[in-house]
């Protein structure tokens, strides 16, 4: 390869990288396409917020729906109903270590949507196992689509959630995620508004 062809090849590489980064951003900006919020949230006894009637992540999911006009699908299991915090964290740890996939109720047709927000609490460093049941069932349904992960947490931020979503949905364009403390969701709606605004909605 002579110097001219090396420069040409480098330019082509730089250009294609710039174009694909641009295309990725455009997908997020496709606010006219149909969006869906898929989430799991646990109401009841929880860390930092006491016994709550509506889960922290559900509050964020509702804000997203209100701000974007997205549809919603809530991943529901009754496996943890009425559990106190300590037994719940022990059960969740065991489920994660065994890779258990708890059942959830109903389902959703993802074919209708271009952008899917996926959110849940951080449980032991990633999403609750029941969300992985959803991911496994729908692993081929989000190819070429945009996924925007979000979490509520008490210190771990996004933890491994974005990486785990990328692994679960090969072929999807997984965007930078958003996280917010669970104990802040009731008073800091503006943080969610700012994030959603930044996505182009
Ligand atoms: C089983 C369990 C495990 C948790 N593990 C973590 C964790 O690893 N990191 C963290 O920051 N918060 C952890 N938390 C706190 C939750 O992520 C946080 O309270 C979240 O906002 C709960 O959301 P929800 O009300 O929608 O379920 C855990 C909570 C529970 C119940």
pLDDT in tens, 15-71: 343 333 334 444 454 566 799 999 999 998 888 888 889 999 999 999 999 999 999
Same domain, 22 and 53: no
For the stretch 91-129, pLDDT in tens is 999 999 999 999 999 999 999 999 999 999 999 999 999
Count up the domains in the chain and report the number: 2
Residues 54, 117 within the same domain: yes
Q: For the chain, what percent of residues have pLDDT higher than 90?
A: 79
Host domain of residue 156: 32-198
Q: How confident is the model over 156-172, as a mean pLDDT? A: 98
Question: How remote is the CA of residue 122 from the centroid of ligand 1, in Å?
Answer: 5
The closest residue, in CA terms, to atom 4 on ligand 1 is 123
Q: Do 143 and 90 fall into the same domain? A: yes
Specify the higher pLDDT residue, 132 or 8. 132
Same domain, 15 and 114: no
**Ligand 1 test: best mutation among 37, 40, 47, 74, most atoms within 8 Å of CB?**
47
Q: List pocket residues of ligand 1, CB cut-off 6 Å.
A: 41-42, 46-47, 55-58, 88-89, 92, 121-125, 152-156, 182
List, as own/partner pairs, every contact residues 100-106 make where C-beta atoms lie below 8 angstroms and the sequence separation is at least 24, other chains included: 100/129, 101/129, 101/130, 101/132, 101/133, 101/136, 102/77, 102/129, 102/130, 102/133, 103/77, 103/130, 103/133, 104/40, 104/75, 104/76, 104/77, 104/130, 104/133, 104/134, 105/76, 105/77, 106/76
Residue 115, domain CATH = 3.40.50.360
Are residues 173 and 76 both part of a single domain?
A: yes
- pTM flag (> 0.85): yes
Atom of ligand 1 nearest to the CA of 59: 26
- Contact indicator for 128, 118 with CB cutoff of 8 Å: no
Residues 120 and 131 in one domain: yes
**Which atom in ligand 1 lies closest to the alpha carbon of residue 122?**
17
Q: Domain check: are 106 and 164 in the same one?
A: yes
């Amino acid at each position: 390869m002579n110097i001219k062809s090396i420069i040409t090849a480098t330019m082509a590489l730089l250009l294609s990288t710039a174009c694909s980064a641009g295309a990725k951003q455009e997908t997020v900006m496709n606010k006219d396409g149909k969006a869906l919020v898929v989430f799991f949230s646990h109401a009841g006894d929880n860390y930092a917020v006491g016994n709550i009637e509506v889960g922290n992540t559900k509050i964020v999911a509702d804000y997203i729906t209100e701000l974007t006009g997205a549809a919603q699908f809530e991943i529901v299991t009754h496996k943890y109903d009425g559990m106190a915090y300590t037994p719940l964290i022990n059960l969740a740890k065991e489920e994660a270590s065994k890779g258990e996939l708890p059942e959830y109720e109903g389902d959703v047709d993802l074919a209708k949507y271009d952008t899917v927000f996926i959110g849940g609490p951080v449980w032991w460093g990633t999403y609750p196992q029941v969300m992985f049941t959803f991911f496994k069932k729908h692993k081929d349904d989000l190819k070429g689509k945009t996924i925007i992960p979000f979490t509520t947490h008490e210190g771990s931020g996004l933890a491994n959630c974005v990486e785990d979503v990328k692994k679960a949905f090969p072929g999807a364009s997984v965007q930078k995620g958003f996280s917010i403390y669970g104990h802040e969701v009731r008073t800091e709606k503006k943080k969610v508004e700012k994030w959603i605004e930044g996505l182009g909605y």
